[in-house]
Chains A and B, each alone.
Chain A
Amino acid sequence: MDEVVKEKLSSIRAQYQAQLEQKAELLEQLWLQSKAPVSSSDKGPALTDLLHLLHRLAGSGRTFGFPEISNLAKELDRSIREMDVGDFQSDPKILYPLKQQLLKSLIQPVVNDSDAKVDHPGKAEHHLVYIVEDDPSMAGWFREALHTQGYEVELYSSLPDLKKAVLTVAPRLIIMDVSLPQGDNAEIRVCQDMQLFNDARIPIVVISHYSGFKTRLVAVRAGVRAYLNKPLNQTTLISCLHEIVEEQPSDPYRILLVDDDGDLINIYRLNLEEAGVKVYGLSAPQHTLEVLESFRPELVVLDLHMPVCNGLELGQVIRQQVRYANIPIVFLSADSSEDIQLEAIRLAGDDYISKPIEPWRLRTNLLARLKRARMVNQYVNELVKEISFKEQHDALTELPNKIQLENRLKLAMRNVREGVRKHLALFLVDIDNFQQVNDAYGHELGDQLLVDMAKRLESSLPHSCIVSRPGGDEFAILFKSMTGPHQVVHYAERMLELCDLPFVVGADEVKLSFSIGIAPYSASMRAIDCKTLFKQADTALFRAKGSGKNDYVIFESRMESELVARVTMASDLRKALQNDEFHLVFQPQMNLMSNEIVGAEVLLRWEHPRRGLISPTEFIPVAESHGLIERLGEYVLRSAIRYLAGCIERYGHAVSLAVNVSPRQFASPEFVEQIAELLKEYDVDGQLLELEITESALAQDIDTAVNKLNRLRKFGVRMAVDDFGTGFSNMASLKRYPVDMIKIDRSFIRDLPEDEDDLAIVTAIIEMGHALGLKLLAEGVENEEQMAVMKELRCDFVQGFYISRPMPADVFEIRLIENQQSGTDLLR
């Protein structure tokens, strides 16, 4: 070291040292003051100052060459913080010895110049490790792992080379990777060959692929100190080496000794401390519980005979508390009665050691127990970690779940409020049409898709943002720091681009899109809490879905009123069902061959008492999300069948009606019975009823669906596949279902006759439908040209504004009468 630097350093140290006495005085003073209870759980100024002083000493001592000061101050600081404030103030005696030690280290400071090196053992002869490894990449890994811990490493690629080297300079430790391509038996031979090292008392650590009993037994017999399995992680390797080399774990074991004989405690303490164990000697058993709490020993040794209470009683007091059920208790007594020994073990203990015992024997006994106790604790801790991981993560994608997301969001919102960051943004991302993928490919492939999606999101977004899956096909992404709106837009667009590449689902490639709702947050939005922000993102998401999907919408406050409107609408819907505010309208369907009206599709209308007529596109999604769709569906079915009955009564002629059935309605196990009962109740022929259902509803459970369709057919009820051509419908799968008609979706008709693609699709659908023996109906026919195209393509039926808009019952009846007068039968 540079002489000038050396001089400067020692002068700074001298200055620091000169102030230590003063600090000792301050420590005494604050200790006394903090003892006096101020008020209930209030720390009081003295205790706060005391903790502050300890913190400073902990943070400075070692820097100035006084490691003991740092260590003791840190320990005392931690111990005080771990205690209940009230407990500490009323009785700080437990920590008194620690405080005294610190005081001593301040008044008579011990300088340790080489202290900085303590954590990085560098003495070569003590830390020379030989490694036998024939895999160069593993060899590199070992070298790296051990170098960082201050070990000197020599690598050998064969056993004979190693033997030669050992005879020249004996290392502190040998690590042998015995994973041999020949397998188990070869490894056994290698282990047997290790006698030489055993004789030289060099500890050997074996690393192996095999974990079989035979190999392990041979290793044990060959005197191998540790047997580690591959794959190996650095932490396991290092802590194992440390324990062998230093003969103590890196984190010292902690023992609580309770014995009324202080001299005895001191002897045991000395001996155990030599082995690197931290010992808390307690001669007053009544303080045991407090010490357990603050010192957290890994093993408790109790003297059986003490004046205040005997060890047996004390053991039971400890065991009364579940959290101490795991601490091994060892009794120590001169009492040789076997009955008492047995009783002690039965009531609370794990073992019984007879006094007098040589300290080294006690040490060996206790160390073995400590080692085992720590292994158990480590195992339990790992399990607990795993459980807490599961609690906070989604099982499928392993992303944070809603609970964790909310916690992180709350924290991030606080940071924004306190000015640490300017803005944050919560993105809710929903996969458009995910339900259809699930229906078409099954849940397993659907789940796989979610996992793929999670990976895509995670890998393409910055590490600082939190990608989570609160549930279903929805992802939530928290950007804890946003510089402004342009960044929000940037990320939203990046996410939409994630769907540019198709996803592989089973053997197919599926193209998906996202709808994204975004809620930004900034410090000015104090009144908004985490739940509200979620709602805002949800409202924006709803808007994104409504605006045609594959889009993002950033929340604006005017949407709030829409949110309120949705909630209000749900409650209004419930009332509407009770107050009969719904009615049906009828959109006629025409046979193209005969130009006759053959029936109508029944549509639902809601006449709101204040708002007037509300469109189904507005209230159906609300009914779906609020669990009202089934009741609405039932209402429509009943009204339609009642109308059919009325028609026959009034005109003596039958009319055919088509009724839409929601996927959820169709999935109900009672669905077929419900239809049968309604038909029976109103005495209506099933042939007059046609049910329209989307293909995705049929695909949910194919066997059950086919069964239902067949049963409905027995009543004469006809089935039409609605919205055909959208989503994942395909002709091939139609063969499976006993259906009568296909309704071609209006989106294919809209741009006819100009759009050639649509024309080709419609032509194909009609031809294939006919080939399967099905009837075809084109929806949304709005002009003469479209009508002509449909005629030319030999479509069977049409429906749309060109024929007629949906009309109220009475107007429809006039049309029926006209038909009747012209002598046409409405039954097609």
Chain B
Amino acid sequence: MAPPIQKIVYVEDEPDIQAIAQMALESIGGFKVILCSSGKEALDIIPAEKPDLILMDVMMPEMDGPSTLAALRQNPICQDIPVAFMTAKVQKSEIDEFVQLGAIGVIPKPFDPMTLSDEVRGLWAKAHGN
């Protein structure tokens, strides 16, 4: 059995998506959510917060999701925190690429706010099952 997720750091540059995802994860999923608006911010916040899971948009200005992940993996404190990507481009090849980078999975955008938390739990369980 996978331990329950409690704290999620959510990295997303678009404020409106941030708002609805926060609502979905907090009100429907019951997680504690910490928001970051950029990869850089995530790099500062994550080592301090040590979340159970990181949810990250792929396409962000300056530092995109994959580069943020790569940078996170350099830091021993963050090395083992599972990361899931969110993207509007869900080509199989890209999913494969993200998984190769070390992501536990990909949540396609646009996501359904009602089921987002379940999707997150699903990925989490799968990652722990493996």
Give the chain B neighbours of A583 by CB distance below 8 A: none
**Cα distance A1–B23 in the bound complex, in angstroms:** 14
Contact A15 B113, beta carbon cutoff 8 Å: no
We find that the number of chain B residues with CB closer than 8 angstroms to chain A is 24
With contact pairs A55-B59, A63-B113 given, residues A420 and B70 touching in the complex (Cβ less than 8 Å): yes
Give the chain A neighbours of B70 by CB distance below 8 A: 418-420
Contact A63 B23, beta carbon cutoff 8 Å: no
- B76 CB within 8 Å of chain A: no
With contact pairs A55-B59, A60-B16, A63-B20 given, residues A2 and B27 touching in the complex (Cβ less than 8 Å): yes
Q: B14 contacts which of A4, A58, A60 (Cβ < 8 Å)?
A: A60
- B28 CB within 8 Å of chain A: yes
- A642 CB within 8 Å of chain B: no
Q: 10 A-B contacts, Cβ less than 8 Å apart? A: A12-B16, A12-B19, A55-B59, A58-B110, A62-B112, A63-B17, A63-B111, A63-B113, A116-B112, A116-B115
- A5 CB within 8 Å of chain B: yes
Which residues, 418 to 463 on A, are CB-close (under 8 Å) to B?
A: 418-420
- B114 CB within 8 Å of chain A: yes
- B88 CB within 8 Å of chain A: yes
Q: A60 contacts which of B23, B89, B109 (Cβ < 8 Å)?
A: B109
- A361 CB within 8 Å of chain B: no
- B105 CB within 8 Å of chain A: no
- A64 CB within 8 Å of chain B: yes
Contact A63 B109, beta carbon cutoff 8 Å: yes
The smallest C-beta distance from B27 to any residue of chain A, in angstroms, reads 5
Q: A8 contacts which of B23, B66, B110, B111 (Cβ < 8 Å)?
A: B23
**Cα distance A13–B20 in the bound complex, in angstroms:** 8
- B101 CB within 8 Å of chain A: yes
Give the chain A neighbours of B87 by CB distance below 8 A: 59
**Additional A-B contacts beyond A63-B112, A116-B114 (15; CB < 8 A):** A9-B20, A9-B23, A12-B23, A19-B16, A55-B89, A58-B88, A58-B110, A59-B88, A60-B109, A60-B110, A63-B17, A63-B20, A64-B20, A419-B70, A464-B100
Give the chain A neighbours of B66 by CB distance below 8 A: 420
A-side residues, CB < 8 A to B, are 1-2, 4-5, 8-9, 12-13, 15-16, 19, 55-56, 58-64, 70, 74, 116, 418-420, 464, 480
Give the chain A neighbours of B111 by CB distance below 8 A: 63
**Cα distance A8–B113 in the bound complex, in angstroms:** 11
The smallest C-beta distance from B7 to any residue of chain A, in angstroms, reads 20
Q: A55 contacts which of B23, B88, B100, B114 (Cβ < 8 Å)?
A: B88
A-B contact count (CB 8 A): 66
B-side residues, CB < 8 A to A, are 14, 16-17, 19-20, 23, 27-28, 59, 66, 70, 74, 87-89, 100-101, 109-115
Contact B23 A62, beta carbon cutoff 8 Å: no
Give the chain B neighbours of A418 by CB distance below 8 A: 70
Give the chain A neighbours of B20 by CB distance below 8 A: 9, 12-13, 16, 63-64
**Cα distance A103–B113 in the bound complex, in angstroms:** 24
Give the chain B neighbours of A8 by CB distance below 8 A: 23, 27
**Cα distance A420–B103 in the bound complex, in angstroms:** 12
Give the chain A neighbours of B74 by CB distance below 8 A: 419
Main secondary structure of the interface of A (DSSP, over half): helix
Contact A4 B27, beta carbon cutoff 8 Å: yes
Contact A60 B17, beta carbon cutoff 8 Å: yes
**Cα distance A19–B15 in the bound complex, in angstroms:** 12
Give the chain A neighbours of B16 by CB distance below 8 A: 12, 15-16, 19, 60, 64
Contact A61 B19, beta carbon cutoff 8 Å: no
**Cα distance A355–B16 in the bound complex, in angstroms:** 52
Contact A59 B19, beta carbon cutoff 8 Å: no
Give the chain B neighbours of A1 by CB distance below 8 A: 114
Give the chain B neighbours of A19 by CB distance below 8 A: 16
Give the chain B neighbours of A70 by CB distance below 8 A: 110
Give the chain A neighbours of B14 by CB distance below 8 A: 56, 60
Q: What are the 10 tightest A-B residue pairs by CB atom distance, in nearest-first order?
A: A59-B88, A62-B110, A59-B109, A116-B112, A63-B110, A5-B27, A420-B70, A12-B20, A8-B23, A16-B16
**Cα distance A58–B66 in the bound complex, in angstroms:** 20
The smallest C-beta distance from B73 to any residue of chain A, in angstroms, reads 8
Give the chain B neighbours of A60 by CB distance below 8 A: 14, 16-17, 109-110
Give the chain A neighbours of B110 by CB distance below 8 A: 58-64, 70
Q: B101 contacts which of A55, A63, A420 (Cβ < 8 Å)?
A: A420
Give the chain B neighbours of A13 by CB distance below 8 A: 20
The smallest C-beta distance from A815 to any residue of chain B, in angstroms, reads 70
**Cα distance A480–B19 in the bound complex, in angstroms:** 38
**Cα distance A5–B87 in the bound complex, in angstroms:** 25
> B114 — nearest CB in chain A belongs to which residue?
A116
Give the chain A neighbours of B19 by CB distance below 8 A: 12, 15
> A117 — nearest CB in chain B belongs to which residue?
B112
Contact A9 B113, beta carbon cutoff 8 Å: yes
Give the chain A neighbours of B88 by CB distance below 8 A: 55-56, 58-59, 74
The smallest C-beta distance from A143 to any residue of chain B, in angstroms, reads 20
Give the chain B neighbours of A15 by CB distance below 8 A: 16, 19
Give the chain A neighbours of B17 by CB distance below 8 A: 59-60, 63
> B19 — nearest CB in chain A belongs to which residue?
A12
**Cα distance A1–B111 in the bound complex, in angstroms:** 18
With contact pairs A16-B16, A58-B88, A116-B115 given, residues A5 and B28 touching in the complex (Cβ less than 8 Å): yes
Give the chain B neighbours of A56 by CB distance below 8 A: 14, 88
**Cα distance A62–B100 in the bound complex, in angstroms:** 28
The smallest C-beta distance from B85 to any residue of chain A, in angstroms, reads 12
> B20 — nearest CB in chain A belongs to which residue?
A12
Give the chain A neighbours of B109 by CB distance below 8 A: 58-60, 63
The smallest C-beta distance from B105 to any residue of chain A, in angstroms, reads 16
> A65 — nearest CB in chain B belongs to which residue?
B113
The smallest C-beta distance from B96 to any residue of chain A, in angstroms, reads 11
> B109 — nearest CB in chain A belongs to which residue?
A59
The smallest C-beta distance from B117 to any residue of chain A, in angstroms, reads 11
The smallest C-beta distance from A798 to any residue of chain B, in angstroms, reads 63
> B111 — nearest CB in chain A belongs to which residue?
A63
> B87 — nearest CB in chain A belongs to which residue?
A59
Could you say which of B14, B19, B87, B113 has the most chain A C-beta atoms within 10 Å of its C-beta? Answer: B113
Give the chain A neighbours of B112 by CB distance below 8 A: 62-63, 116
Give the chain A neighbours of B28 by CB distance below 8 A: 2, 5
**Cα distance A707–B32 in the bound complex, in angstroms:** 85
Give the chain B neighbours of A4 by CB distance below 8 A: 27
Could you say which of A58, A59, A64, A464 has the most chain B C-beta atoms within 10 Å of its C-beta? Answer: A59
**Cα distance A464–B23 in the bound complex, in angstroms:** 36
**Cα distance A350–B14 in the bound complex, in angstroms:** 51
